[in-house]
Structure 1
Amino acid sequence: MRPIAVQELFRLWSLQAGPVFTLQLGAKHWVILNTAQSVKDLIVDRSTIYSSRDLPSTLVDDIMGGVSKGGGFAFYPYGPEWRHLRRIAHGGLIKKKINEYQPIFDDRRNTLLANLWNEQLTTSTSTARDGFSLTRFIEHYTMTSILAIAFGNMCNFDAGDPRLHQAFSLTERTAAIFGPAEQMAEFFPMLKYLLPNRKQEYIDVRNNIEDFYGGLLAEFKERLQQDGDGVEDCFIKEIMQNGELTDLQMMNFITVFVGAGSETTASTLEWMIALLANEPGVQDKAYDEIQTNVGPFRLPGPEDESSLSYLQCVIHETLRLRPPAPLSVPHATSEDDVYNHWRIPKNTTVMINLHAIHKDPVRYPNPNVFDPDRHLDYVQRRAPQQRFSQTIDDRPHLAFSTGRRVCVGIHLAERSVYMAASALLACFRFERQDEHALIDVDTPKDLRSPTFAPSPYKVKLVARHDGVKDLF
């Protein structure tokens, strides 16, 4: 029997129990929101009540060092301290700062294209015919991009650098802590005494985080002390100049920043390539748009994004159909509330089922169909400098969540996805091995992980024209 993802199970339950339902899971009380209206009513309109967090103590205390010691601000309960740290993080991630990081994106995507090109040249005839996995190339792009934005040129790691492998390993080990066994122990505290004690494993992860990110921070501070003016602008330099954070807080900022930014962007790009390989007409339309508005002699840049409406639609539709975190990060209530005559107690976990919202047939006709054109009106109406809002009515999807806990790195994520997507489509056609769908798009790669990545697949790359190599 094929496994079913939790978000799909919740969606099916909502069709029977109603758009908002409650789960009593042992000691935990969950409320699942499956419609845009319920998200607007609670997460947006009552954001002062529904903007806290309730996450496993293993993550907050053992992995991030605990709130009292300056643990990851993304996991803080809602309040003055969280708002203060959020403002600091936001200052390093506004659109103006993202534009200053543009040379990093240019360099990283050129490396991505060169790595893919070289892989094609060195693979055997049979491998080229059967295709190959792009996962490690995409992960290298997302991880090195985010590390270079965090620390500058000192983190332009080559593919074989052992420190880069360490960064991948830390991200994977931390994500695995969201697994079923740990969640079950949160639901039923008695299991903490029955299941194997993994506390030392979590402490080891914590020590590795301190060794890796703490080491990078120490190296950066030394560079800054030796030649402050010569150190390029980067995220850690921005928040360090604020002067309000401890080394532990800065280290945890970067841990969350790198982990969340690399995993989610990689997942989005992998899904986009899989979906486009299944829809050759869609990718050809996106390629034709690039040729018309940019031409064959250079790669699209950020200045071209507003003229590539259909490409923007492709990205939006990928994020709608396959949001990287389909259940978002759990919210929690900070006080008792009543909604539609239902009492929602303080400290209730509130889950936003983005998967169900994005498959609402009223909001998205034929929701299971990959149809970028459905977002064309939104893209053409939106002014290039329009500010991102926390509302839900004027947005094509909720992949970056909403309300006061909306993803603080949204502009960085959008730029990273756009730069890679535009370059890949300008250079290559993605082809399947045969006439069958490339992957079973409803089955996740790993049910243990909070990020919904596709199951492994291979794709053939075909250069769009003879001059592709000259573009990078």
Structure 2
Amino acid sequence: MKLFSYLLSTSSTVGDNTSTMILGLIIIAIIALVWASSSQNTSSGINYPPYAPGRFPLVGHLPQFARGIPLQELFRQWSLRMGPVFTIQLGVKRWIILNSLDSVKQLIVDKGTIYSSRNLPDTLVNDLMDGVEKGGGFAFYPYGKEWRYLRRIAHTNLIKKKIDLYQPIIDERRTTLLQNILDASQRNNNILSPTMYIEHFTMTSILAIAFGSMAYFKPGDPQLHEAFALTERTAALLGPSEQIREFFPILQKILPSSRAEFVDVRKKMVGFYGGLLERFKKEKVTDNCFVSEILANGSLTDLQIVSFASLFIGAGSETTASTLEWMIALLANNPDIQTKVYEEIKNNVGLSRLPSHDDELNLPYLQCVILETLRLRPPAPLSVPHATSEDDIFQNWFIPAQTTVIINLHAIHQDPVQYPEPEKFIPERHMNYVRQRQDKFTQTTEDRPHLAFSTGRRVCVGIHLAERSLFMAASGILSCFQIDRLDKDILIDVINPRKAQAPTFAPRSYNIHITPRHDNVSNLINIK
């Protein structure tokens, strides 16, 4: 009965209007029909890593997903019983879950040529991303020559020297964020819901970095709202309603097709970002920006540029926004830590100006706060799924080609050996790293105190821009404002239901009481 309820609730997300009775009969029929396809993909004779507990016949671990526990925490609990590497069965599919730093190093890093691919459903690649051969969705390409070429272009335009060229844009966007926060709080008796303003900062920052000064949007702008909506809609299409078809191939012939929805989202995405690209070319924008650099390269099609822009803007803005939202919530719940950051800024920067990028090395405790936020609340706690490009043997276990491999960042970041009292927000735990920081970044697991940006060959290409944006926003907010809780506690462990299908892990919406720290705040952010 639990299995029936789970499949029924999952199937309803694809918009099936069939009555409950008919759908129930269909699902019962599927249980019988899927036996044939499942038996052809059985694990008998294949020595996978050990299976997680609670596996049902045919459907595997899918019923466990209906328990209401976030998957990253469920996987962490299983790892305590089964060890750091285990298998879960999802219909005809097998996923390998990595829950330790050592297993990530051995597979994702040391065997990067095998464990750096992707394995998305064909309908997502072709209908939502317009196909690999046309250049759509390069971040989801399988590992190979085409991906390496496009990745190299992205990396070249997101190295630290390029971020320095984008710094005036980040500065201007940061000032606008602080102005919006002050203005909104003054209009609402110092009460603020920060989500809209944080999202506006991250989205418009990356839009301006991509398309230059022409990409200017005020908070609440309909076009900007459309871009937000498209990002969330795309994320929802990557959720369980489409995956269920992969777990049970017979469902592809029974459940309504989502192809029309995929095509519509793709058309709107191409329309929005393609419209910006067309305007960019027409106005002959000369700003130092991402698109101008890519156009100068001269080797990409317009579709590839649009794909670059949509992925760059959508993924970058969402992850940075969720991190800033978590940080504000955590600091509201830890006023002593917030005070220490303010005192550090006051003593090392002063109150006559806003902190600049050049002040980062003089604000080690603030760096620790950002690092601890990324450890405790990584924006994508299960990272983006990897896949094997060929068969592999690991510790006498067989891992076939095209197996999905999940890096459970949450479990890694909750390791009590590496992070004593891992459930607590303790910025000081990163101070030795910050003081010894050599400002380097490789594809290993040893040179960072967290894996929030993943690791290996698929490490986040926008890591330097993300870190710069986080520091600038955090230093500006904490040098200007005191953040206090309105309620007894801000919920810092409940995901935002509006973003439940998103690849990022954002907090539930909350209000804060926010007041200027000193009398010079209005002058600092040019409020007249």
1:423 equivalent to 2:476? Answer: yes
1:15 equivalent to 2:80? Answer: yes
Q: 1:232, 1:359 → 2: CA distance?
A: 43
The letter of the residue matching 1:349 is T
Q: Which moved more, 1:270-279 or 1:55-64?
A: 55-64
Match of 1:132 among 177, 189, 192: 192
Q: Which moved more, 1:31-40 or 1:242-251?
A: 242-251
Match of 1:293 among 329, 348, 357: 348
C-alpha displacement at 1:169, in angstroms? 1.2
1:439 equivalent to 2:491? Answer: yes
Q: Which moved more, 1:134-143 or 1:167-176?
A: 167-176
CA contact (8 A) 1:27 1:187 kept: yes
1:106 equivalent to 2:175? Answer: no
C-alpha displacement at 1:54, in angstroms? 1.0
C-alpha displacement at 1:10, in angstroms? 0.6
1:374 equivalent to 2:429? Answer: yes
**Residues 295-336 of structure 1, C-alpha deviations (whole Å, 9 max, x = no match):** 011111100001110000000000000000000001011111
Q: 2:408, 2:295 → 1: CA distance?
A: 36
What is residue 340 of structure 1 aligned with on the other side?
Answer: 395
What is residue 260 of structure 2 aligned with on the other side?
Answer: 200
The letter of the residue matching 1:65 is D
User: What is the TM-score normalised by the length of structure 1?
Assistant: 0.95
Q: 1:455, 1:465 → 2: CA distance?
A: 30
**Residues 208-239 of structure 1, C-alpha deviations (whole Å, 9 max, x = no match):** 01111111111111222xxxxx6111001111
CA contact (8 A) 2:184 2:192 kept: no
Q: 1:27, 1:190 → 2: CA distance?
A: 11
What is residue 28 of structure 1 aligned with on the other side?
Answer: 93
What is residue 216 of structure 1 aligned with on the other side?
Answer: 276
- The 1:171/1:427 distance shift into structure 2, 3 A limit, reads same
- Partner of 2:515: helix, strand, or coil? strand
Q: 1:193, 1:396 → 2: CA distance?
A: 47
Q: 1:119, 1:467 → 2: CA distance?
A: 18
- Partner of 1:290: helix, strand, or coil? helix
C-alpha displacement at 1:443, in angstroms? 4.2
The letter of the residue matching 2:158 is L
CA contact (8 A) 1:286 1:425 kept: yes
Q: 1:438, 1:45 → 2: CA distance?
A: 41
Match of 1:395 among 431, 436, 448: 448
CA contact (8 A) 1:268 1:323 kept: yes
The RMSD of aligned alpha carbons is 1.4
Match of 1:315 among 351, 370, 373: 370
- Partner of 2:88: helix, strand, or coil? strand
Match of 1:168 among 209, 220, 228: 228
Give the number of aligned pairs. 459
What is residue 28 of structure 2 aligned with on the other side?
Answer: none
What is residue 227 of structure 1 aligned with on the other side?
Answer: none
**Residues 168-204 of structure 1, C-alpha deviations (whole Å, 9 max, x = no match):** 1111111111222112122112222333322111111
- Partner of 1:429: helix, strand, or coil? strand
CA contact (8 A) 1:3 1:443 kept: no
The letter of the residue matching 2:346 is Q
Match of 2:147 among 82, 87, 101: 82
1:304 equivalent to 2:377? Answer: no
1:258 equivalent to 2:310? Answer: no
1:94 equivalent to 2:159? Answer: yes
The letter of the residue matching 1:461 is I
Q: 2:330, 2:443 → 1: CA distance?
A: 28
C-alpha displacement at 1:22, in angstroms? 0.7
1:448 equivalent to 2:501? Answer: yes
Which 5+ residue runs of structure 2 have no aligned equivalent?
1-65
C-alpha displacement at 1:375, in angstroms? 0.4
What is residue 30 of structure 2 aligned with on the other side?
Answer: none
Which 5+ residue runs of structure 1 have no aligned equivalent?
225-229
CA contact (8 A) 2:330 2:492 kept: no
**Residues 245-272 of structure 1, C-alpha deviations (whole Å, 9 max, x = no match):** 1111111011100110010000000000
What is residue 156 of structure 1 aligned with on the other side?
Answer: 216
Higher relative contact order (CA 8 A, sep 6+): 1
Match of 1:119 among 161, 165, 184: 184
Structure of higher CA gyration radius: 2
C-alpha displacement at 1:387, in angstroms? 2.3
The letter of the residue matching 1:392 is T
What is residue 271 of structure 1 aligned with on the other side?
Answer: 326
C-alpha displacement at 1:416, in angstroms? 0.8
What is residue 513 of structure 2 aligned with on the other side?
Answer: 460
**Residues 1-34 of structure 1, C-alpha deviations (whole Å, 9 max, x = no match):** 9831111111111111111001121222210000
Q: 1:413, 1:453 → 2: CA distance?
A: 16
